[in-house]
Amino acid sequence: MPKTKRKSKTISPKTRWAIKAFVNQGYSANKIQKKLQKQGLGIQRKKLLSEVRKIKGKKPKANRQKYTPKKYRRRVTPKPRRPFYSGKHIAVYQYAKTWRHPKPYSARFEFYGNGKYLAKAYIRVLRGIVPRFEDPFVECSARDFLNDPYKYGEKGVWIDKPEISS
Amino acid sequence: MILTSTARREFGLINPKFQANPILGLSDRMTVKIDFDETDFKSAKYWAELTLEKFTLGGYVMLKSSKKCRHAVFDRYVSWEENLSIIAWVAVLSKSVPLLRYLAMQCIKMSSALRVSPKGDKPSPRIVYRFGCQDHAVKDFLEFRQLIKQIYRSL
C-alpha cells in the first residue's frame, strides 16, 4: 500500500497564500482543492472552506444546529456552564473529633464552586479533614480548599451523632 | 436510587478508607426552605399553602425526608431578611418547636440548609408533591440537588 503523506494540522503560509490567490481569481472551493492537491499542498476540506470564508469576509453560517443532523446536534450545541459562584453552597456536616479535641463536636464545611471541584473537595473531606474546634463552621471555595486543606481544617474523623447518656 | 448508609455498608459500597460519611446538604440564603419536622403531610401542605398565599411565593415543592418529616422549597427568590421573616412567621403560627429550632440554627449559620444525602437509616429526601410555578428557585434547587446526588453516587 502506498504511503500517504500526513496532512499537517495547521495551514502553512504557502498554502494560505495560494488559497488567497485562487479565491481572488474567482475559483470555486472544489477547484481550489484540486489545484492545491496537484501542487502537493492539499488540506482538509473543512479547513479550506473556513479559510475561503475568512478571505471572502463571510460570517460563519448562522443556525449551525439547524443544519446538523439530530444525532450530532449535541456535539455542536455549546454546553451551558454553571457559573462558578451561583450563591448555592454544598454543606458537609456531621460530628467530628480530632486528637487535639477527642470530645465530639458539631462541624460543618460549606463549599461553593463548580461540580468538579465540589466533588474533589468532598472526597478530600471524607479522607479525614475536619474543621477545627475553634472554628467549626467553615465557608470557602472548593478550589481554595483543595489548594490548601489544612488552612481550613485539620486531620480528624467524622463520627455519627454521639449518644448522650444522663 | 440512592441507598441508605446501612444498605451501602451491607452491600460493601462504602469505601473502607473513609470512616463515616458526613451528611451532604444544600445551603443558600435566597431560597425559602422550610423543614417541617414531626409534621404529617396534611399539616405540612396546609402551612406551605398558607405561606404561599401570604407571601406570594409562586409555587413550591414538597419533599419527604423521613416518615414524619417534610421539606418545602418555594419558587420565588427572596432576600435573607425576608427569608428569615417567612420561616419565623410559619414557626410562630404553627407553634412548631422543631421549626423554631431550625430557624435558630439558620440564624446561627447565616444560611438555610436542607439535607440531600441519606442520613443514618433515613434515605435521601424525595419529591412527593408539587404545586404552582417551578421555574425559578425550585428549578435551581432541584438542579443543584441533582449535582449533589451525582457527587454522592460517584463515591
DSSP B6-64: HHHHHTT-S-TTSSSPPEEEEEESSEEEEEETT--HHHHHHHHHHHHHHHT--EEEEEE
- The model's pLDDT over B58-75, given as tens digits with 9 standing for 90+, comes to 999 999 999 889 999 999
Does pLDDT of B12 surpass 80?
Answer: no
CA distance A48 to B86: 62
Reported as type and span, the H/E element at residue A154 is strand A153-155
Question: B151, A119: Cβ pair inside 8 Å?
Answer: yes
Report the pLDDT value the prediction gives residue B100, as an integer from 0 to 100. Answer: 94
* Partner A contacted by B25 (CB < 8 A): yes
Query: In this structure, is residue B155 part of a structural domain?
Result: no
Query: In this structure, is residue B83 part of a structural domain?
Result: yes
End-to-end CA distance of chain A: 87
CATH number of the domain encompassing residue B93: 3.40.1310
Nearest to A55 by CA among A16, A8, A7, A9: A16
Is this structure's pTM higher than 0.90? Answer: no
Percentage of the residues of chain B whose pLDDT score is greater than 70: 87
Question: B27, A128: Cβ pair inside 8 Å?
Answer: no
Number of domains in chain B: 1
Query: In this structure, is residue B153 part of a structural domain?
Result: no
- The model's pLDDT over A67-116, given as tens digits with 9 standing for 90+, comes to 888 888 888 777 766 665 678 899 999 999 999 988 999 999 999 988 88
Report the pLDDT value the prediction gives residue B115, as an integer from 0 to 100. Answer: 94
Question: B24, A118: Cβ pair inside 8 Å?
Answer: no
One-letter identity of residue A40:
G
Higher pLDDT, residue A1 or A14: A14
Reported as type and span, the H/E element at residue B115 is strand B112-115
Higher pLDDT, residue B15 or B79: B79
Beta bridge partners, B66, equal: B69
With vertex at residue B116, the alpha carbon angle to CA B114 and CA B122, rounded to the nearest 5 degrees, is 105
- Please tell me whether the interface predicted TM-score (ipTM) of this complex is above 0.85: no
Report the pLDDT value the prediction gives residue B87, as an integer from 0 to 100. Answer: 95
Q: Which residues of A touch B27 (CB under 8 A)?
A: 88-91, 110
Query: In this structure, is residue B152 part of a structural domain?
Result: no
Report the pLDDT value the prediction gives residue B17, as an integer from 0 to 100. Answer: 47
Closest residue in A to B149 (Cα) is A119
Report the pLDDT value the prediction gives residue B11, as an integer from 0 to 100. Answer: 52
Does pLDDT of A121 surpass 60?
Answer: yes
Supply the mean pLDDT for chain A: 86
Task: List the grid coordinates of A93.
Answer: 456536616
What confidence category does residue A2 fall into, taking pLDDT thresholds of 50, 70 and 90?
Answer: low
Report the pLDDT value the prediction gives residue B5, as an integer from 0 to 100. Answer: 54
The parent domain of residue B62 ranges over 5-15+23-147
Question: A115, B113: Cβ pair inside 8 Å?
Answer: no
Task: List the grid coordinates of A38.
Answer: 496537484
Report the pLDDT value the prediction gives residue A64, as an integer from 0 to 100. Answer: 78
Q: Which residues of B touch A161 (CB under 8 A)?
A: 120
* Packing angle of the helix pair A13-24, A29-38 (nearest 10 deg): 140
**Partner residue facing B27 (CB), from A89, A157, A158:** A89
Query: In this structure, is residue B52 part of a structural domain?
Result: yes
Give the residue from A90, A94, A99, A106 with the most B CB atoms within 10 Å of its CB, the best one to mutate.
A90
Report the pLDDT value the prediction gives residue B99, as an integer from 0 to 100. Answer: 94
The highest-confidence range among A47-56, A77-86, B20-29, B42-51, by mean pLDDT, is B42-51
What confidence category does residue B8 fall into, taking pLDDT thresholds of 50, 70 and 90?
Answer: low
Supply the mean pLDDT for chain B: 87
- The model's pLDDT over A131-159, given as tens digits with 9 standing for 90+, comes to 999 999 999 999 999 999 999 999 999 98
Query: In this structure, is residue B125 part of a structural domain?
Result: yes
Q: Which residues of A touch B19 (CB under 8 A)?
A: 128, 157-159
